[in-house]
């Protein structure tokens, strides 16, 4: 789904989420799910939310806010700590761009960060991350895994050795798809 903040619909569409990561994109995702259910495309009892990078953040936001709407959540190379993501932006020379995207209100960043809200996630979670991801460092997945386990949540974590953010190697994609297929089969079975 091309929620606001994603590419392909022009600059305004992409820029609409500036300092509103927990707002418009998430509303678009919820609206898209409601539409798919109304149209009979999605079975409301068998929905899993999944995303990659920023989409992984949105998937975990869905698990935090609306776990009752989903049977499970998958985050691939997802951002789980917004403050850390900004700090990493400082090291890569992207701090100003990330501040423009996310804002600078530390309390808001904490309230939106899945790692700070792991206790509120009550559905099974699959986290997948490449060990050589320089765009969204593996720390995000490691920290979220630790917090979910500390709160006795159902989490599976797959770290793909040598994998980049895009997991572009064929072997990386095969691992990713196999793990997602098994996770969905286990968590979306009829019942």
Q: Which tens digits make up the pLDDT trace of 172-181? A: 999 999 999 9
Alpha helices, DSSP H, located in 66-169: 82-92, 95-102, 106-112, 139-150
Distance CA 98, CA 79 (A): 12
Domain 48-187 maps to which CATH number in 3.40.50.960, 3.40.50.1820, 3.20.20.140, 3.40.50.720? 3.40.50.1820
Distance CA 171, CA 33 (A): 31
pLDDT of residue 95: 78
Q: What is the mean pLDDT of residues 65-87?
A: 94
What value does the mean pLDDT of the chain take? 92
This prediction has a pTM of 0.92
pLDDT of residue 191: 55
Phi (first) and psi of residue 138, to 5 degrees: -60, -20
Q: What is the mean pLDDT of residues 31-43?
A: 96
pLDDT over 70 at 136, yes or no: yes
Hey, what's the torsion of the CAs at 64, 110, 128, 100, to 10 degrees?
Answer: 120
Residues 38, 1, 158, CA angle at the centre, nearest 5°?
115
């Amino acid at each position: 789904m091309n929620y606001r903040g994603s590419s392909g619909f022009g600059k305004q569409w992409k820029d609409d989420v500036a300092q509103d990561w927990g707002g418009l994109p998430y509303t678009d995702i919820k609206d898209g799910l409601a539409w798919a259910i109304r149209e009979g495309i999605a079975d409301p009892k068998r929905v899993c939310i999944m995303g990659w990078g920023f989409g992984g953040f949105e998937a975990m936001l869905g698990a935090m806010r609306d776990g009752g709407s989903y049977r499970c959540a998958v985050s691939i190379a997802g951002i789980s700590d917004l403050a850390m993501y900004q700090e990493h932006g400082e090291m890569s020379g992207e701090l100003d761009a990330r501040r423009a995207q996310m804002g600078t209100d530390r309390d808001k960043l904490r309230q939106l960060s899945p790692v700070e809200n792991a206790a509120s996630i009550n559905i099974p979670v699959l986290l997948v991350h490449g060990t050589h991801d320089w765009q969204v460092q593996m720390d995000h997945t490691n920290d979220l895994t630790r917090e979910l386990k500390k709160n006795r949540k159902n989490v599976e974590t797959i770290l793909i050795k040598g994998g980049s953010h895009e997991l572009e190697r064929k072997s990386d994609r095969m691992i990713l798809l196999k793990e997602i297929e098994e996770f969905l089969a286990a968590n979306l079975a009829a019942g």
